[in-house]
Structure formats: structure tokens, C-alpha cells
């Protein structure tokens, strides 16, 4: 399967997940709004997700997938399968005790994660209860990440990309029966836990269908497991730059008035749509394929693959980021402003969305640039960069919350993301392993021209349709749809007229040929 076809498969299924995620977020906003229960649940969701993305889908994936792919290519399926069994045994031996200890000491953990939550408004006690429910999700999703990485390594990308659909479906289902739970937060927390189990069972079933079987065994520190830990150590930070910054955001936001955590959550969810569709899809498809090229010492092919991956992320990410900045308030109002989510919440969330959107191209770029290092089994360099950017993010957060409140937190994260891109770019250029080619540099200018033209169209349409945006949900939805459609058409027309996209390459990739 070609890289573009693999990325398109992941992106398409991620889109399906995001649609259900949108339904979930609309229901959550209408039922919980942006008050104490919402703040408590979003903190409860943030903690297991932080560890999941930092370890299971972060350091573990970027370390395990290249090693598994290399073992599969050089030593065959039987040896690779044994390596996976050893990995699972070690994972269970670590995560089960860790989860138990974390649940026991959850009040102390949340005192650090959400120091601004007080017992008087009920947020702290509720957050402790909900996080104890959601934390089991970490174990199931860590196992799912391993199985999903194995499937990606054998070019079976669809199953892992479809797993998040189960997460959102469970959230919707549990919100639909919210009346049987003490609070909507309890309903969503149990939905998180059940979804983790279902995702693992689904991926395990698909793995068995592909004649790869996992078996339980006692953990053993083999040479390959030692190598996995060597790569994971620094990768636990290096692969989770965005997550560390978002965790810092949550800690600082908890010290602001009630609602700040929720505003950042809803804004982040919209930013995650293009980030998931583009960044995650490209990173997921790129890592095993780039690792295979490097293992085969095919440097020219590896460099070409890297440049085309970066090129496609720019084609898709730059207009998405620009649109989120230009029409942030209409998007938030149309999607969320109903029920408990009022106009004040919409305005506050829109300001955070603009700030996150500014950093969106950087967040996606970090995924591609870091993948180039991970594919070479280099996890030490990203960790050094991440430490620098995490420290910068904290300093900027503290400096910007005064004048910009919660939006300053989002803007600080965006700036830190751009700094990380700059440092990674310099390092890759100095190493001379993977370089930016002339085609990428030429097309970057053309993509910027098309994006600026699109922004002009969005500005004009927002001004012309301002009365419709203020006239109620149906008319506002139609106005938003027209604005996005015309802006998108102008962008695509200029992309094709400037020949940024080669239709022949796209057709070949759809057939499974080419990159």
C-alpha cells in the first residue's frame, strides 16, 4: 500500500471518528455546558489521555513500530510475533501496578494537576471520582496501541484508524442514558472506560484474522525489550510535546475562574479535527514506511517520501488553520451555542480556538519532522527539544494569562509549537539525512498564495452574511456552510492552477502505487 493511500485510509476513518466526536461534543456542551461538572470531567479525561498519548501512542508507538517492522522484515513473522508477546508481558507488568497506585493516590495527583480546583465548588471531589473511573482506560488503550502498531506494520491501517469510532460511540450512548447516572460527568467517565475495552477487543480480533496471535507470558528482559526501553526512555517526553503543553495548560487553567478548562477543551477539540485527519494520519502512515526505507538503506526514496509527506500536510493544514482563525466565532456559535452553552461561553471558546489554530501547522509539522528522527531510532534528540519547548510554554503561559486569560494559555502552546518546528528543521538540515527538496520549497510559496486568497474570500463572506450569522441556528449554519464552501473552492482552484498537486501521482497512489 502506498503512503498516500495509507494516509488517506487513516484520514478517512479518522474523519468518521471526528463526525461522531462532534456529535458527542455537541451533546456534552448542551448537557454540561462549561461549568463545574464539565471542568471536572475534562480534567478526568485529560490525565489518562496524557499518559496514553505520551507512552502508549507516543513513546511506545514510535519506538515499537520501527523495531517490530525491522524484525518482521529481517527475521520473519515468528520472531516478530515473539517480540510482541514479550512486549505485551512487560507492558502488563508495568501498567497494572501503576494504574492501581495512581487510583489510590488520585487526590494527591489531582492536587498537582488541577491546583485551582477547590472543594467548595465541588470540582475537586468530583474530578477525583471521575478520574478513578477513567484511569482504567490507560491499560486497555496501551494494549490497543501495541496491537494497532503491529497491524500498521503489516500495512493494515484501517482497523486501528477505526478504533476511535468506538470511543465516540460509547460516549454518545452513555450520554443518551445520562439520567441513570449521578451526573453527566459520571456517564461520560464510564463511557471512556468501556470504550477502551472495546477498542482493544476489536483490534485483537482483527490481528487474529491476519494470522498473528498474542499469548500471555512472564515478562523477560530480552535484548529487544532492552532496546525498546532505550528508545522509549527519552521518547516518553519527545513524542508527547503537544500533550505536555496541554497538561501545563490544564494545570494553569484550573487556577482561572470556572469555565476556563472547558473553554480550552472545546477549542482543542476543534483543533484536533485537522490535527487528527492530517497530522495523525500522515504520522501513522509515514513511520513504518520511512523506517522500512531507512532499514533498506534507500536514502533517496526515504528523502522523497519525507518531502511529499510534509508537502501534503502543508496543503491540508495551512488552509484549515487560517479558516479556524478567520471564522472562529461563527464556527463555535453554530456548533455549540445551545442548552447550557451560552453566548459568553461561545465567545470565550472562540478566543482560545484562534490561538490554538495559529499553532496548528506547527503541531502537525512536529509530527512529521519528529517521525523522520524516530524512523532512524533517534529518540534522544526530540526529548531535548521538547524539554526546551515545555519550559518555554510554561514561561509564556504565566506571562500571557494576565492580559489574555485562558486564550493566553492556548497562544503560549502555539508559540512553543512553532519554536519546536524551527529547532527540528535546523537539526534535520544539519544532519543531512533528510533534506527539504526544491519541489517542497517551491510549493510552499504557492500554498501560501492560495491560503491568503482563501482568507480574503472568508473575510468578505463573513461581512456580507453577518445578518445571517446572527439570525438563528439554521440561517447561521447555511451562512457558515456557504462561507467555508466558497473559501475552499477558491483555495482548491488556486492549488490546481498552480500545479501544486500532481493528479497523476494522486491517481497512482489511489491504486496503491507511487509513494
Phi and psi at residue 340, to the nearest 5° = -80, -5
Question: Which pLDDT value is given to residue 278?
Answer: 65
Which of 385, 406, 436 marks a domain boundary?
436
pLDDT of residue 512: 47
Closest by Cα among 281, 206, 363, 356 to 17:
281
- Which position has the grid cell 517521525? 371
Specify whether 400 is located in the same domain as 331: yes
- Single out the residue in 419, 436, 453 at which a domain terminates: 436
CB-CB neighbours of 76 under 10 Å: 10
Do residues 341 and 255 touch, judged by C-beta distance below 8 A?
A: no
Same domain membership, residue 460 and residue 347 = no
In the chain, what is the straight-line distance between the N-terminal and C-terminal CA atoms, in Å?
9
Closest CA to 145 of 102, 94, 73, 87: 87
pLDDT 10s digit of each residue in the chain, 515 long? 555 566 566 666 667 777 788 788 888 888 887 788 888 888 888 888 777 766 655 567 777 877 888 888 788 888 888 888 898 999 899 889 999 999 999 998 888 877 777 666 678 889 999 999 999 898 898 888 888 888 877 777 777 778 888 888 998 999 999 889 999 999 999 999 999 999 999 999 988 888 888 888 888 888 888 888 887 766 565 555 556 666 777 778 888 877 888 888 888 888 877 776 665 556 556 656 666 666 666 677 777 777 877 888 888 889 999 999 999 999 998 888 887 788 888 899 999 999 999 999 998 888 778 777 766 667 678 778 887 888 898 899 999 998 898 999 999 989 999 999 999 888 887 766 667 888 888 999 999 999 999 999 999 999 999 888 877 778 888 999 999 999 999 999 999 898 887 666 556 554 544 55
Specify whether the CB–CB gap between 64 and 72 falls below 8 A.
no
CA 110, 116, 119, 120: dihedral to nearest 10 degrees? -170
Q: 429 with 461, same domain? A: no
197 lies in the same domain as 272: yes
The C-alpha cell at 336 is: 455549540
What's the confidence (pLDDT) of residue 319?
A: 93
Q: Which of 367, 405, 389, 384 lies closest to 261, judged by CA?
A: 405
N residues, the chain: 515
Burial class (CB in 10 A: 0-12, 13-18, 19+), 221: exposed
* Rounded distance between C-alpha atoms, residue 371 and residue 366, angstroms: 8
Buried b (16+ CB within 10 A) or exposed e, 301-314: bbbbbbbbbbbbbb
Residue 320 makes CB contacts below 8 A (sequence gap 6+) with 274, 278, 360
| Of 89, 93, 319, nearest in space to 217 by CA | 89
pLDDT at 377: 66
| Same domain membership, residue 244 and residue 334 | yes
SS3 annotation, 486-507: HHHHHHHHHHHHCCCCCHHHHH
Q: Say yes or no: 325 and 378 in one domain.
A: yes
Let me know the angle formed at the C-alpha of 14 by 249 and 32, rounded to the nearest 5 degrees: 50
Residues 162 and 280 in one domain: yes
Number of domains in the chain: 2
CA distances from residue 29 to 184, 265, 345, 440, 452 in whole angstroms, order as listed = 11, 11, 10, 41, 33
Quick one: residue 498, left, alpha or beta (phi over 0 = left, psi -120 to 50 = alpha)? alpha
Q: If DSSP codes are grouped into helix, strand and coil, which group holds residue 117?
A: coil
Residue matched to cell numbers 442514558 = 177
Running DSSP on this structure, what letter comes out for residue 256? Answer: S
Nearest to 143 by CA among 190, 191, 87, 102: 87
464 and 414 part of one domain: no
pLDDT of residue 238: 55
The 3-state DSSP class for residue 472 equals: coil
On whether both 203 and 288 belong to a single domain, the answer is: yes
Domain that holds residue 508: 439-515
The answer to whether residues 254 and 261 touch, using CB atoms and an 8 Å cutoff, is yes
Q: Which residue in 26, 64, 138 sits closest to 377, CA to CA?
A: 64
Segment (H or E) for 106: helix 106-113
Cβ atoms of 93 and 221 within 8 Å: the answer is no
Distance CA 398, CA 391 (A): 11
Helix (H), strand (E) counts: the chain: 22, 0
CA distance 289 to 311: 16
- Write down which residue in 436, 470, 504 finishes a domain: 436
**Residue 331 and residue 379 in one domain:** yes
| SS3 per-residue string spanning 174-231 | HHHCHHHCCCHHHHHHHHHHHHHHHHHHHHHHHHHHCCCCCCCCCCCCCHHHHHHHHH
206 grid coordinates:
482483527
Strand residue runs (E) in 216-372:
none
Find the angle CA(166)-CA(171)-CA(174) to the nearest 5 degrees: 120
Residues 111 and 173 reside in one and the same domain: yes
Residues 370 and 385 in one domain: yes
Amino acid at each position: 500500500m502506498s503512503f498516500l493511500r495509507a494516509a488517506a485510509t487513516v484520514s478517512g476513518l479518522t474523519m468518521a471518528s471526528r463526525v461522531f466526536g462532534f456529535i458527542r461534543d455537541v451533546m456534552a456542551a448542551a448537557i454540561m455546558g462549561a461549568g463545574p461538572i464539565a471542568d471536572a470531567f475534562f480534567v478526568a479525561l485529560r490525565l489518562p489521555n496524557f499518559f496514553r498519548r505520551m507512552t502508549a501512542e507516543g513513546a511506545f508507538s514510535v519506538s515499537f513500530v520501527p523495531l517490530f517492522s525491522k524484525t518482521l522484515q529481517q527475521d520473519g513473522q515468528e520472531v516478530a510475533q515473539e517480540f510482541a508477546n514479550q512486549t505485551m508481558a512487560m507492558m502488563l507488568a508495568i501498567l497494572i501496578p501503576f494504574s492501581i497506585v495512581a487510583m489510590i493516590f488520585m487526590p494527591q495527583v489531582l492536587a498537582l494537576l488541577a491546583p485551582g480546583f477547590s472543594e467548595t465548588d465541588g470540582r475537586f471531589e468530583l474530578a477525583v471520582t471521575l478520574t478513578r473511573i477513567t484511569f482504567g482506560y490507560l491499560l486497555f488503550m496501551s494494549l490497543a496501541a501495541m496491537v494497532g502498531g503491529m497491524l500498521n506494520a503489516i500495512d493494515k491501517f484501517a482497523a486501528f484508524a477505526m478504533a476511535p469510532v468506538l470511543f465516540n460511540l460509547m460516549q454518545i450512548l452513555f450520554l443518551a442514558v445520562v439520567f441513570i447516572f449521578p451526573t453527566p460527568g459520571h456517564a461520560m467517565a464510564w463511557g471512556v472506560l468501556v470504550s477502551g475495552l472495546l477498542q482493544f477487543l476489536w483490534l485483537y480480533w482483527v490481528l487474529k484474522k491476519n494470522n498473528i496471535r498474542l499469548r500471555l507470558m512472564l515478562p523477560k528482559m530480552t535484548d529487544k525489550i532492552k532496546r525498546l526501553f532505550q528508545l522509549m526512555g527519552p521518547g516518553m517526553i519527545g513524542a508527547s510535546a503537544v500533550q505536555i503543553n496541554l497538561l501545563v495548560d490544564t494545570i494553569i487553567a484550573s487556577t482561572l475562574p470556572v469555565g476556563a478548562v472547558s473553554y480550552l477543551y472545546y477549542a482543542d477539540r476543534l483543533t484536533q479535527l485537522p490535527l487528527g485527519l492530517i497530522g495523525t494520519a500522515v504520522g501513522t502512515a509515514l513511520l513504518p514506511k520511512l523506517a522500512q526505507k531507512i532499514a533498506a538503506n534507500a536514502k533517496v526514496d526515504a528523502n522523497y517520501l519525507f518531502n511529499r509527506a510534509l508537502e501534503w500536510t502543508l496543503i491540508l493544514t495551512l488552509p484549515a488553520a487560517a479558516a479556524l482563525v478567520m471564522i472562529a466565532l461563527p464556527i463555535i456559535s453554530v456548533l455549540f451555542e445551545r442548552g447550557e452553552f451560552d453566548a459568553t461561553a461561545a465567545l470565550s471558546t472562540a478566543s482560545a480556538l484562534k490561538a490554538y489554530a495559529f499553532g496548528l501547522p506547527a503541531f502537525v509539522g512536529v509530527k512529521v519532522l519528529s517521525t523522520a528522527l524516530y524512523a532512524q531510532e533517534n529518540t534522544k534528540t526530540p526529548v531535548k527539544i521538547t524539554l526546551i519547548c515545555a519550559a518555554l510554554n510554561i514561561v509564556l503561559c504565566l506571562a500571557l494569562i494576565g492580559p489574555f486569560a485562558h486564550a493566553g494559555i492556548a497562544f503560549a502552546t502555539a508559540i512553543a509549537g512553532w519554536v519546536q518546528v524551527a529547532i527540528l528543521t535546523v537539526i534535520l538540515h544539519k544532519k543531512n539525512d533528510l533534506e527539504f527538496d526544491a519541489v517542497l520549497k517551491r510549493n510552499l510559496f504557492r500554498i501560501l498564495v492560495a491560503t491568503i486568497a482563501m482568507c480574503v474570500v472568508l473575510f468578505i463572506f463573513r461581512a456580507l452574511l453577518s445578518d445571517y450569522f446572527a439570525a438563528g441556528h439554521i440561517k447561521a449554519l447555511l451562512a457558515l456552510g456557504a462561507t467555508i464552501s466558497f473559501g475552499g473552492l477558491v483555495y482548491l482552484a488556486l492549488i490546481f492552477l498552480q500545479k501544486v498537486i500532481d493528479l497523476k501521482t494522486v491517481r497512482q497512489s489511489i491504486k496503491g502505487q507511487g509513494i
